[in-house]
Chain A
């Protein structure tokens, strides 16, 4: 869209087009609101400069209605923009149910991506065009922020909390991907490329890409290694809630609340199990926060989610 001084910024999604439209319209409003001020200041400064003989009689020193109108009218105009921009913002947080789910782990100073089929990438993300995508992001250390200017999108990744970013890239191409939240020494080089491909090319890329085990399979392996089934399997000696099909269901806790067992819930339940204890059970699960990292946690969650699939 913009081509000043050799720098360009493509619009790689329909969201980008809407944001640009909003920004351009707001810039126009800026001109409408400021130009009269600039012109009048210059005109007055010249016309009424000291020493020049002009009519200076009956200069007003107040006019309530004039003042009210120039406070209220710009505000109402801006309010319209507020509603427009809030709608775009809310649309961002309404992800498509058929989204392609990518796991992202940020750490000083790299981005790690994993596709549903297990393909891993570092600092590069290949995605199909015209396919809704949902990134589930976790940070291993400090706050990072995934920023793709071509998509006009950015989301901070706060350690301890999953962040999601949903979008649909529409234009194949290679775009910058940055860390936007200052994260220490190599903040400036914590980035890489977003490569949006035609769906067929993406499928081909998936075939060639370095294919590790899928997150769910990795999770299953970890599940065995860590001995989770010793308690969580049915009929085990130490009673622990069954995990099959738990994902996405409401859970009743000892304090009486019934949160939905979403990824954040499962994340906290694995790393900090005593933060919320399921009703009818005792807080006996060990804390895994210092034993496994965010990637492993994500894999475990993938396996727990897959258990839900199996049950169906």
Chain B
């Protein structure tokens, strides 16, 4: 890969960084977090693809990165499912589970 392309990738990375910092100041609620993480994935993708040469690397190297990400995503996804559906109140507005039926209905004489 030629030096010029590497520098172009670098410029793209800086642009993306500006984008994610900029998004932090937008009044769009929780989407900000989504955008900054999403931009993070794009930046990481660029670094992996061009700097770490996955572009020209064999399938094996690509597979090892993808496979690792698959297991990491499984960890995060399944932990998220647990938190998002725990029955007790956990402070965030994300929870979707039904409230703890046992405790609201109890009463003391």
Query: Given A95-B101, A99-B102, A162-B103 in contact, is the A257-B92 Cβ separation under 8 Å?
Result: yes
Evaluate contact between A214 and B100: CB separation under 8 angstroms.
no
Query: Given A162-B88, A275-B91 in contact, is the A95-B102 Cβ separation under 8 Å?
Result: yes
Say whether A116 faces chain B, with CB atoms less than 8 Å apart: yes
Say whether B80 faces chain A, with CB atoms less than 8 Å apart: no
Q: Which of B87, B89, B93, B109 contacts A214 (CB 8 A)?
A: B109
Q: Is the interface of B mostly helix, strand, loop or mixed?
A: loop
Which of A56-64, A76-84, A146-154, A260-268 faces chain B?
Answer: A260-268
Query: Given A162-B100, A255-B93, A256-B93 in contact, is the A264-B106 Cβ separation under 8 Å?
Result: no
Query: Interface range on chain B: under 10, 10 to 19, 20 to 34, or 35 or more?
Result: 10 to 19
Evaluate contact between A134 and B108: CB separation under 8 angstroms.
no
Docked Cα-Cα span, A164 to B102, in Å, equals 7
Tally of A-B residue pairs with Cβ under 8 A? 78
Evaluate contact between A276 and B100: CB separation under 8 angstroms.
no
Q: B101 to chain A: which residues have CB within 8 Å?
A: 94-95
Evaluate contact between A265 and B102: CB separation under 8 angstroms.
no
Closest 7 CB pairs of A and B: A257-B93, A263-B103, A101-B106, A164-B102, A264-B88, A248-B104, A265-B89
Beyond A161-B88, A257-B93, 7 additional pairs, beta carbon < 8 A: A95-B102, A162-B88, A162-B100, A259-B99, A262-B103, A262-B104, A263-B104
